[in-house]
Amino acid sequence: MRAQPERSNNRLPIRRHRSRNSSDRCQYGWNVLQSIKAALASIKLAQDADTAAEHEREELNRIGIALSSTRDVGCLLEMILAKTREITAADAGSLYVVETPASENSSLGDADRTLRFKLTQNDTRQFPYSEYTLPISEDSMAGYTALHGEAIVLDDVYRVPTSRPYRFNPKYDIETGYRTRSLLTVPMKNARGDVLGVMQLLNHKRNRTTRLVTSADMEQEVRPFPEKAVRLAESLASQAAVAYENGQLYQNIQKYLRDS
């Protein structure tokens, strides 16, 4: 008989994996769920950002078309300020235009030009106003923006850094009882980079339709102008400058035809 092979008692060890208990499985599932939620939230934020950007482009295009189709300069300036306030959620605002002497002398400097206060708008308070002129200099915020072609953004107009050459003029607040806090001043530049005017926006609101009647409204609603509002205002101001320039040209041509 064939000898049976001798069996060894040294068996290979069997690895046993410890299974997660119920608590471990629940925690693991919860972590996975949270990761999925976070990923979906990130996707939604990206989609919302794309949608918001597309909406901004469409809104700017729509406003640009409306501006380019308006020939009356007075109506155009009213529309420019109203649309800029609307898109930046500003409670109030003013618009200035640069006036240059009729002389064609190209050596005229900033001292020969002035800023004319043309109009103001305010959702909270309505009051009469009249036009006036001021020099283009660094003493005023509008003058500084017209002189340097730069935007001014202030969270609180009563706390202007001492390093700035301009100060806020409280006359507007004193005479009307209004309370200005946040401010945005942007230049209206044409395609050549010339400053044709200045827009000054007051009190960026969380809710665009809210009226700032009480001090509590001011505290709850008024915020600094965010970077997005600054970007939109500058973009719209550039469109407005081109439309304003074209409107002036159209009116000058009409005047020439009437007088000839």
Query: What is the DSSP code string of 187-203?
Result: EEE-TT--EEEEEEEEE
Per-residue pLDDT at 101: 77
| Across 179-194, average pLDDT | 94
C-alpha distances (whole Å) from 31 to each of 22, 23, 34, 36, 94 are 14, 12, 5, 9, 54
Per-residue pLDDT at 122: 94
C-alpha distances (whole Å) from 222 to each of 152, 179, 182, 207, 250 are 17, 10, 7, 9, 39
Whose CA is closest to 125, among 229, 219, 214?
A: 214
Interatomic CA distance for residues 255 and 14, integer angstroms: 102
DSSP run (H or E) holding 52: helix 22-68
| Across 107-124, average pLDDT | 82
Domain locations in the chain as residue ranges: 47-259
How many CA atoms does the CB half-sphere of 206 hold within 13 Å? 7
| Across 139-161, average pLDDT | 96
Per-residue pLDDT at 19: 53
Per-residue pLDDT at 258: 72
Pick the CATH number of 47-259 from 3.30.465.10, 3.40.30.10, 1.20.140.10, 3.30.450.40: 3.30.450.40
pLDDT at 94 over 50: yes
pLDDT at 106 over 50: no
pLDDT at 128 over 50: yes
Lowest mean pLDDT among 22-36, 159-173, 190-204, 214-228: 22-36
Lowest mean pLDDT among 53-62, 76-85, 87-96: 53-62
